[in-house]
Structure 1
Amino acid sequence: MDPAPLATFKAELITELSDILNWWMTHTVDEEHGGFYGKVDNDNIANPQAEKGLVLNARILYTFSSAYLLNSKKAYLAIAHRAFDYLTTYFLDSEYGGFYWAVDFTGKPSASRKQVYGQAFVIYALAEYIKIASNEKALALAKITFELLEQYSFDPVNTGYIEALSRTWGALEDLRLSDKDRNEKKSMNTHLHVIEAYTNLYSIWPDDKLKKAIKRLLSNFKNHIIDKSNCHLQLFFAENWEVRSNTFSFGHDIEAAWLLQESATVLKDEEETETFQKLALQLTRAATKSLAEDGGLWEEEAHWWPQAEAMVGFLNAWQNSADIRYLQQSVQSWSFIKRHLKNDKGEWHWGVHRDYTLMAGQDKAGFWKCPYHNGRACIEIIKRLSA
């Protein structure tokens, strides 16, 4: 095939990554109270008194560490150091271990629960940071947090991980990740990001116990989370893996497609790698049910993060199958982003309605709006096309 379109795709994403990260360095650094603002609105105006979320800070640490690993820009390393310092100074629970779910703008804990999704993102970020900083404290914290999840969240009877625990790692009645979620013991979303985190940690710490945990998680996806009848991910479960939901998340389908394959590949397990290459194509095909002619991956609206994951997921499907249509769809996903979600220079908008008007009242940076999906998509595609 003509390599020129691939070179253009890569060049555009190199520029886009720089624009995204420059926006975060310009608009989110909290000089007065440390770390990063908890909220920046669609007009780039920060709320200096907004609550600061664990996921936002961990994802900043991950993304800037990953970007520095890609291109060695010293400004990215400085932001990664800043994120690590803030996480370990204010979010780290020095008494009971693990990390608080949220702190107020001064750094005092405002939600001390141990949401497993959040602990996973800390492990994911610390592992990436260790690749650029060789930080003994970071490695020790990543290992300790892994052990805490295995001790308190892992279900030894049914396998899998309980959604959330109290500050002291005790049981909670309300386990929900957000108000939009069901109050169930287990979820696809948490398991996807636990295996993502464990995989990144294994890449720098190939521990046997960690390897067994990843293999169990791959089994959880094969046997419980991926619906064998349609290859969509099932979203919520009781403790015994009884399904407690009947809706789909197309963005998670295509995100899981490449992340699960990566987990099997990092383990260097040929059988699992072959299995999850096949499942990656099946999950990708399932996600295409929400594709529109405009190239967008739609649910009720078109949010920013499924479009980012679609770019990577479709490129991965092309690499697995050599089917040029998947590459074309990856490029079309990028075209949709440029038309409808990308700011002139900087962080993407949250999403658009069916008539392509921007979703009002949403953040550019916030508790859930981070540089992780779009930054990682740029980095992942740059690396894959470079190879």
Structure 2
Amino acid sequence: MNPTRRRELVDVYRDGLLNDTLPFWLTHAVDHEHGGFLTSLNRNGTVIDTDKGVWQQGRGTWLLGELYNNVEPREDWLRIAIQGAAFLDQHCFDPTDGRMWFHVTQDGRPIRKRRYAYSECFAAIAYGELAMATGEAHYRERANETFQRFVDHNLNSEEASSKYTGTRPTRGIGFPMMAI
């Protein structure tokens, strides 16, 4: 691919992200009442389900921090990312064991936890982006703690044992893929 075509494609994808996809989600998904993000939306932005997937809260927070750090330092992106992290801090950690919930209500009441730790992985990258964006030690510490919890859960936990039997030994790719 020549440099001219590469630049054309970068422009197309950048325009699609910044002028189409992102405005849709910022208009319809940001939960101004309870914090975090509503991600079950119809094509027109109507909310279909108010429950919140915790990994999606981390992913939304990460995306806005990533855009702030690497595309353009827009204060509205940072502000919404910070409110996403506040939702994670306030509602998404189980105080009994420090692990994160997988699924919570709109106002953050826990619904369920899963045997894997994807919520922790996405929260770790979200906190990492906010640490870079703000320079605040709180986010750096949360990123390190949450990532360590993700790694420990996957390498040192009975909950992380294989879900497959010995009949057809298989190794899941979730942990190595997420750790990348």
Superposed, 1:1-20 pairs within 5 Å as 3-18=3-18, 19-20=20-21
Instruction: Kindly indicate whether residue 166 of structure 2 is the aligned counterpart of residue 192 of structure 1.
Output: no
Q: CA deviation at 1:95?
A: 3.5
Q: Are residues 26 and 143 of structure 1, via their aligned partners in 2, closer, same or farther at CA, if it must alter by over 3 Å?
A: same
Q: Deviations over 1:298-357 (max 9, x none)?
A: xxxxxxxxxxxxxxxxxxxxxxxxxxxxxxxxxxxxxxxxxxxxxxxxxxxxxxxxxxxx
2: CA distance, partners of 1:174 / 1:187: 8
Residue identity in the other structure for 1:190:
F
Retained in 2: the 8 A contact 1:62–1:125?
A: yes
Superposed, 1:63-212 pairs within 5 Å as 63-69=63-69, 70-113=71-114, 115-155=116-156, 171=159, 186-193=171-178, 195-196=179-180
Q: Are residues 150 and 4 of structure 1, via their aligned partners in 2, closer, same or farther at CA, if it must alter by over 3 Å?
A: closer
Q: CA deviation at 1:63?
A: 0.8
Retained in 1: the 8 A contact 2:62–2:129?
A: yes
Q: Name the TM-score, length of structure 2 as normaliser.
A: 0.82
Q: Are residues 148 and 189 of structure 1, via their aligned partners in 2, closer, same or farther at CA, if it must alter by over 3 Å?
A: closer
Residue identity in the other structure for 2:177:
L
Retained in 2: the 8 A contact 1:51–1:105?
A: yes
Superposed, 1:145-294 pairs within 5 Å as 145-155=146-156, 171=159, 186-193=171-178, 195-196=179-180
Q: CA deviation at 1:175?
A: 5.6
Retained in 2: the 8 A contact 1:54–1:91?
A: yes
Tell me the residue number matched to 1:325: none
Tell me the residue number matched to 2:51: 51
Q: CA deviation at 1:60?
A: 0.4
Deviating runs (4+, > 6 A) in structure 1? none
Residue identity in the other structure for 1:136:
A
Q: CA deviation at 1:172?
A: 7.7
| Higher radius of gyration, 1 or 2 | 1
Q: CA deviation at 1:7?
A: 2.4
Q: Deviations over 1:137-189 (max 9, x none)?
A: 2222222223334444315xxxxxx6xxxxxxx6489969xxxxxxx985112
1: CA distance, partners of 2:173 / 2:161: 19
Retained in 2: the 8 A contact 1:101–1:115?
A: no
Tell me, what secondary structure is at the counterpart of 1:154?
helix
Q: Name the TM-score, length of structure 1 as normaliser.
A: 0.41
Q: Are residues 13 and 172 of structure 1, via their aligned partners in 2, closer, same or farther at CA, if it must alter by over 3 Å?
A: closer
Q: CA deviation at 1:107?
A: 0.9
Residue identity in the other structure for 1:153:
N
Retained in 2: the 8 A contact 1:40–1:46?
A: yes
Q: Are residues 2 and 118 of structure 1, via their aligned partners in 2, closer, same or farther at CA, if it must alter by over 3 Å?
A: closer
Instruction: Kindly indicate whether residue 75 of structure 2 is the aligned counterpart of residue 60 of structure 1.
Output: no
Residue identity in the other structure for 2:146:
T
Retained in 2: the 8 A contact 1:29–1:37?
A: yes
2: CA distance, partners of 1:7 / 1:152: 42
Q: Are residues 145 and 186 of structure 1, via their aligned partners in 2, closer, same or farther at CA, if it must alter by over 3 Å?
A: farther
Calculate the aligned-residue CA RMSD, in Å. 2.7
Q: What percentage of residue pairs aligned between the two structures are identical? A: 21
Alignment coverage as a number of residue pairs: 174
Retained in 2: the 8 A contact 1:101–1:111?
A: yes
Tell me, what secondary structure is at the counterpart of 2:47?
coil
Task: Give 5+ residue unaligned stretches, structure 1.
Answer: 156-161, 163-169, 177-183, 197-387
